[in-house]
Structure 1
Amino acid sequence: MLHKTQGIVLNYIRYSETSIISKIYTSAFGLESFIVNGVRKPNSRFPIAYFQPLTLLNMEIYFHQKRNLQRIRWMECSYLFTEIPTHIYKMSVAQFLTEVVIHSIKEQEKNEPLFNFLKESIIHLEETNENISNFHVSFLIQFSRFLGFYPMNNFSTANKYFHLGEGKFHSTHSNPLYELDEKISFEFFKFFEMKYEQAASHILGYQTRKILLDAIIKYYQLHLEGFRDLKSVKVLTEVLK
């Protein structure tokens, strides 16, 4: 059946000499894979640029629930990026976000709040003129809410050590393998309700940010089956140094 939907491109792989298979997170059906024939030909009706990561699309698709590969009848770019493809900092953050989403989302079902969060985050990254050094940290914590393991906000003067495995703050620091120290726990807590605008003005040293990012990635790995080490982390931390 023919359906209209919005989409966020995650990646694509080559398929035969002129075709590709692209993973796109859609507003109507969640994560779907699309086979696009002839897109690598010079006269293709769909520019290959449409399939760059995080491209926002309006689409008409032929959707069949029992098929692993869907097809696209029509598509257009719904938002033209000018900053992300040319700004080294934004490009590095975008690559990181793409890798996180690919490793996190497996569901093939509609989740409009999650789709809107991703879309709004991408547009904010494109449009902001503020500092983005903490953008990825804020994104990870907000994203965990939609994935079902948002940390418990029980921080207090008594409970000041965050336990990565249990997702809440403890009163003692007895297991350094899974519990963050007091300083990093407090920084973690600060980001819980922090929006992107607030994160932009939050002062965080390079080393502290790196330790915090490593801790959040470990938190994802403990709570999300199959979440692997991220290749984009090294580049991102160096660029934002």
Structure 2
Amino acid sequence: MSEKIDGLFLRSTKLKQHSLIVDLYTFQHGRSSFVFTHKKKAPFIFQPFHFISFNSKFNPDKKINLAYKQELIFPVIDIVSDVRKTGYAILLTEILNKCINHFEENPNLYLHLKKMIVSFEHHSFNPIFGVFFIKELMNFFGIKPLDNYSEVNKHFNVANGRFQINEDDLITSNFPNKSFNQLLGMKIDSIFSMKLPVEKRRSILNVLLQYLSFHEILSHHQIQSIQVLQSIYD
């Protein structure tokens, strides 16, 4: 029996002129792969930060299922028209694609991703969204860093995931620990008003990727589009 499925685009592979395999993180079945046929004159909707609704006679025992009647769940206009937002969408989708490679269904994660991306679409661009997005993912992987910064515990430690007295050899001495702690405690509703200089954002991004690498969720060197984000920072 055919069912309606909602999913967030992760990646696509072209099969032939009008057919492609698309990996999506779906609300109903977690990460799954589908074969779609793209009509020549139809808008191409298989892009980063696009939520897609479609029909499929889904069989969990199959590695790839057929899909049809695909359509956008909500229009993505600002993300595709603002090159800065597009760059973030590319990078963060690449990180998502590698982080949830074998992730089971988690409706709460799907809905949280949707909430963040909808906010990103409707708010003015703020480069802090990138590090906030990665920070939020950690909550769902069970490795949420502790925001325990104090006058005593001033230095974040990658191995322990918390602030401590002594500096961490893996982190540069000028790392913005206090700003990082502030970011850890923030919610999506307030993130778009936060301001940080480019150097601090870069430092925080590097530590977040180090942290994911330490927990073997992804390797920093796997992220090909990091140069895109760095160029946006400049």
Q: Which of structure 1's runs of 4+ aligned residues deviate more than 6 A?
A: none
TM-score (norm 2): 0.91
> Is residue 62–residue 73 contact of structure 1 (8 Å, CA) maintained in 2?
no
> Is residue 88–residue 130 contact of structure 2 (8 Å, CA) maintained in 1?
yes
Per-residue CA shift, 1:176-224, capped at 9, x if unaligned?
12x4547522221111121234332222111121111111111111113
Matched AA of 1:149: I
Q: Give the match for residue 98 of structure 2.
A: 103
CA separation of 1:213 and 1:16: change in aligned 2, threshold 3 A: same
> Is residue 59–residue 75 contact of structure 1 (8 Å, CA) maintained in 2?
yes
Q: Give the match for residue 150 of structure 1.
A: 144
**How many pairs does the alignment contain?**
233
Per-residue CA shift, 1:68-116, capped at 9, x if unaligned?
0011143221111111111011111111111111111123532011001
- Seq. identity, %: 24
Shift, 1:42, TM fit: 2.7
Q: Give the match for residue 127 of structure 2.
A: 133
CA distance in 1, matches of 2:181, 2:174: 10
Q: CA RMSD in A?
A: 2.0
Q: Give the match for residue 33 of structure 2.
A: 33
- Verify: 1:11 aligned to 2:5, yes or no: no
CA separation of 1:227 and 1:167: change in aligned 2, threshold 3 A: same
Per-residue CA shift, 1:147-178, capped at 9, x if unaligned?
211112332221111111221111112x412x
> Is residue 161–residue 180 contact of structure 1 (8 Å, CA) maintained in 2?
no
- Verify: 1:193 aligned to 2:211, yes or no: no
SS at match of 2:45: helix
Q: Which one of the candidate residues 22, 33, 42 is aligned to 2:40?
A: 42
What is the 5 A alignment of 1:148-227? 148-173=142-167, 175-177=168-170, 179=171, 181=173, 183-227=175-219
TM-score (norm 1): 0.88
Shift, 1:146, TM fit: 1.0
Q: Give the match for residue 233 of structure 1.
A: 226
